[in-house]
Amino acid sequence: MEYVKAFFVGGLICVIVQIFMDHTKLQPGRIMVLLVISGVLLGALGIYEKIEAFAGCGATVPLSGFGFSLWKGMKEAVDQHGFLGLFEGGFTAAAVGTSAALIFSYLASLIFQPKMKQ
Amino acid sequence: MRHEPTKQEYSQMVEEMTPKHNSLLNCIRAFFVGGAFCLLGEMIKQTMMKVFDISKKDALLYVTIELVLLSVILTGFNLYGKITKFGGAGGLVPITGFANSVASPAIEYQKEGQVFGIGVKIFTIAGPVILYGIFSAFLAGICYFLGTQWGWIG
């Protein structure tokens, strides 16, 4: 059942973004920025937590889930370190995702050659 | 001699050549492609938790690492672009789309050098995403911080 929920909710988030894209013609970069910001916002409002509790990876795998984890990291850091946490939480929460993307991408740039556009 | 198309014929040609936006079909594709990535994530998460006895928090981090790795490999073999072309938002929205947007310029611009090629271009999409992600989390954090200080929250 968890698998069905993850598939369905994850797919639904993509459909919402697809409709948004078809109507606004926004570039992918802007879409990703908007997704992360809305994840942070929905996280701070306590809404994304409920979506995650229901859908699991259907909520965490989309980029809005990345925003949600940024918010969670921020909240934890503020709870632990107060004011200093404001400058800690974001990068702590983003650490694994961005490090993985940067490290693997750099390795890929050493291994793969650019291909001609078809 | 080639026949020169009239203005009317030309605009008709443009009309025919421009890909039709089939919004419903786009949505169905986005649903299945995006859903498939989330399903894969959930499968990794459950495997990590059940087979390797890892906490949910850590399992989610493993999901991120493994999906990012998968996406970078697919990007290297020039396959991720095809997924995005077919799936639209379904290829863009999951964390794999983010990883693709990091790996793709890193591979593409390697000829321009380590620092100003790979080093700069690797952040083409990652830069804005990290900047606005961190900054919006900071703003939300300030609200939370002040809220707890003044006793509105918690």
Chain B CB within 8 Å of residue A18 CB: yes
- Residue B143 near residue A44, CB atoms below 8 Å: yes
pLDDT at residue A118 greater than cutoff 60: no
Answer whether 0.90 is exceeded by the pTM: no
Distance of alpha carbon A42 from alpha carbon B93, whole angstroms? 16
Low-confidence stretches of chain B (pLDDT beneath 70): 1-2, 18-21, 154
CB contact under 8 A, B30 and A78: no
Whole-number mean pLDDT of chain A? 93
pLDDT at B92: 94
**Cβ–Cβ gap A41/B132 under 8 Å:** no
Report pLDDT for A69. 96
Residue-wise pLDDT tens digits, B3-45: 777 888 888 877 777 666 678 899 999 999 999 999 999 999 9
Whole-number pLDDT of residue A83: 93
Q: What is the DSSP letter of B51?
A: T
Long-range Cβ contact pairs of B12-21 (< 8 A, separation 24 or more): B21/A22
What is the mean predicted confidence (pLDDT) over A36-55?
96
Read off the amino acid at residue B63: V
User: Which of 52-91 (A) contact B at CB < 8 A?
Assistant: 55-58, 60-67, 69-71, 73-75, 77-79, 82-83, 85-87, 89-91
pLDDT digits (tens, 9 = 90+) for A46-85: 999 999 999 999 999 999 999 999 999 999 999 999 999 9
Q: What is the reported pLDDT for B3?
A: 72
Q: What is the pLDDT of residue A54?
A: 96
Q: ipTM of this model? A: 0.92
Contacting residues of A for B38, CB less than 8 Å apart: 6-7, 9-11, 55, 57-58, 61-62
User: CB–CB of A37 and B132 under 8 A?
Assistant: yes
Closest residue in B to A26 (Cα) is B89
